[in-house]
Structure 1
């Protein structure tokens, strides 16, 4: 990084800085059912560095809100943390060439049997940039209504529980440490901050 680039980081409006280091080697070291682990060797700061990370497809999530300022939450079993946690409807960007908004609409229908008349992007964030390239795009959905037909759910989704909760109550649960899902936390706090 040049002194001018460093100075710009310290004085410019706060924003992440794209910096595509030169990748000299990239290999999949573990091929998983849902995502892979990739090992990259890259040049950075005059040295070659090697890092392993989860090579993720990316995902979308939906903060559905009703006219009473309630948020739709789903409760789902998550094996890695051995917990049934509260979440937003969400899913992988695993359909080739699918538009992220279309994926969000699909996930709301598949997980909650709902559709929405109004959609807007709330935010996009990197879930764990030190160990994964996953980014999540969260959409806000309003004007929610039931879909024409219900979806069949299997595996962990077979026991989904849906609950409409006032946004203020979700924020209070987040600040009290009673809910832990990162997507839910980021989305409801952003929605609350925006008013």
Structure 2
């Protein structure tokens, strides 16, 4: 079966600093037409910063879209000057936490919500961390609190509903998998 939808027309409704909102008229495989609302996004990178096997760095911040505090792994948008997502991940780790990593390795990548956005997220694991002497400063519109939490504390935050964004939930289950592999 053919699943491809042919774009007949695309209209940009709004272009902001982070996203662009478009409306597409598409031809479905059965010949009928439909409308698709799409959020275009330049992509992002996130980092799972391990202090050791039982501690991780998270950041606490207010997220206006959900009108609540969210506890997350460090992450951010790719800048035009970033040569790769690993550069983005390293920069965001330093900006948001003040830490740098001697080891940064790719873990996975995925589309965050392909039903309406093309946002592509790449996740890295950071180990052998150290505090930067003169760390990069946070973005002007960013207010974050650094948290160093244990494995059990992270799961408690998840159970309390404070750790809920997809990249951080992934990081939590990734950590669980790593710990179970060490036991074997």
TM-score by length of structure 2 reads 0.85
Task: From 27, 31, 34, give the equivalent of 1:43.
Answer: 27
Matched, 1:98 2:83: yes
| C-alpha separation in 2, matches of 1:109 and 1:81 | 25
Task: From 48, 53, 60, give the equivalent of 1:63.
Answer: 48
Partner of 2:73: 88
Q: How far did 1:85 drift?
A: 1.3
What is the CA deviation profile of residues 115-161 of structure 1, one whole-angstrom value per residue up to 9, with x for unaligned ones? 1111222222222221211121111110111123133335442x321
Superposition RMSD in Å: 2.1
**Contact conserved, 2:101 with 2:130, CA < 8 A, in 1?**
yes
| C-alpha separation in 2, matches of 1:156 and 1:82 | 16
What is the CA deviation profile of residues 23-45 of structure 1, one whole-angstrom value per residue up to 9, with x for unaligned ones? 22222111223211011223332
| C-alpha separation in 1, matches of 2:93 and 2:151 | 18
Q: Which structure has the highest helix share of the two?
A: 1
Task: From 136, 141, 148, give the equivalent of 2:133.
Answer: 148
Q: Which structure has the highest strand share of the two?
A: 2
TM-score by length of structure 1 reads 0.80
Partner of 1:167: 151
Aligned length: 178
Task: From 37, 47, 51, give the equivalent of 1:52.
Answer: 37
What is the CA deviation profile of residues 44-95 of structure 1, one whole-angstrom value per residue up to 9, with x for unaligned ones? 3223322011111111111000224211001112122222211111001232
**Structure 1 residue ranges (4+ consecutive) displaced by more than 4 angstroms after TM superposition:** none
